[in-house]
Structure 1
Amino acid sequence: MRADAPVAKDHRPVYIQIAETLRARIVSGFYDDKIDGELKLAAQWQVSRRTIQQALEILVREGLLVRQHGMGTFINRKGVEKRYHAIASITESLVGQGLKPDYTVLESGEVPAGEAEQRFFGLEEGAMIYRHKRLAVSDGKPLAVVSTSLNLAVLEGLELSALSGSLYKVLRERFGRTVVVADDKYMPVAADAEIAALLKLEEGAPVFLAIRQGRDQTGAPLEVSRIVMLPVPLDISIRNVGFAAAEPDNRSPAAKEWTYMVGFGDFKSDGK
């Protein structure tokens, strides 16, 4: 089976594995409107056409695909929107506040997983993860320090040192992974020496910390992010959305959609 085939050591029937991979591609925007033909897909995975047909039938029943006789198989956008909801990254939410952040890469590469990553990713001590750390600047002023740890078990070959745009876009387009479930925590903290220097604050000044643990459309743990933001007047929209899995047993406990707004004031260091 080729490198673009489903994950190795998966003992489920091949057509189910292929359906899962195609599902990820559909949700991530890999295809525009029409998916590849059955013969092309069969050649990609080196399987029979009947195996591809079985995989497509699953996705048709789920409402993600629709067949048009003599024309091919097309993505049912309404079905995709109904079943899956991508979550914006925390830094992308800053754009929604009218800010235009630019990024400077501070760190990008493989490092040993910390305790938080080991627990969330299910890794053994000494396992490697990918750490990508950036400074977000808006109008020449530092805005936030964004440190994201990514699960190399599902992102083999990841390399982000030249990344200048959206991390989530890279994960969608290059790996077919879309964050659809995220647990976020927000809390005020005091800036340590490193954060204070990067954000041009005094050490101990109040800042805001956001922590995210994100899973993709298959339920795989994908990211652990820590974002330290300046305490500027800011409304943060949080929209954590699960997805209706094909099998009820796979439904996330967080699959019910919920939305709320959190407003923050000036957070003056003198307490006034």
Structure 2
Amino acid sequence: MTIHLKTAEDIEKMRIAGRLAGEVLDYITPFVNVGVTTAELDRLCHEYMVNKQGCIPAPLNYAPDGHVPYPKSICTSVNQVICHGIPNDKPLKNGDIVNLDITVIKDGYHGDTSRMFLVGDVTPQARRLVKTTFEAMWVGINCVKPGAHLGDIGYAIQRYAENAGYSVVQEFCGHGIGKNFHEEPQVLHYGRQGTGVELKPGMIFTIEPMINAGKRFIKIKSDGWTVETKDRSLSAQWEHMILVTETGHEVLTLSAGAPPRP
């Protein structure tokens, strides 16, 4: 497993890409309302990334081994969809929860972040799931410092989510990122303290827990991309991109409109 420690020049480029990814979410926020289609949100984000930011939408035509090319510029995961939901012409309904996952490429470097949105009047149960998942992400981020281990992050997230009565998806995880969309290491959202790769300054990776209201088990739809909860319970996800610094960490995908650290 080769983990690329980023140079000062790499880090500066990643800061820019990360901020731009966050700013796409800031831009799209006012449009996420009852009646809008996820295809329209995709169109708006695509135009903003390409025309306003001069970025490339990384998901568009992304085709890792064994996958058909992803057909859209963002991922839109509604209600029981865990991740990789493909934007479509179905309008968002009152009470829906939706994750918008944005990855941009700027000057050859990737910025990757996602945010949950509450559509109209959302049930207290859905609201609690979204809030707890956000807090679980930050519990994981707070573990990041030189000398810590990836297992510390997963353990903290899993303990927080399960103590709240939820389950953690285990088939999908965070990942190293840089000039490539997905690099080593894999960042699991469950695990044991003190295990896994030791964190070193210059590592950049995502922390993006997927938390289910029901059981952790998944199913993948026939499109080859959309991942849903097997029991059709609600699922939530948040994502930030993190740099390990000499003294701790820096969150690279914070933008003016990002919800603050809890």
Specify the TM-score bucket, using the shorter chain as the normaliser: under 0.3
Tell which has more relative contact order, 1 or 2 (C-alpha 8 A, sep 6+). 2
More strand by share: 1
Larger radius of gyration: 1
TM-score normalised over the length of structure 1: 0.25
TM-score normalised over the length of structure 2: 0.26
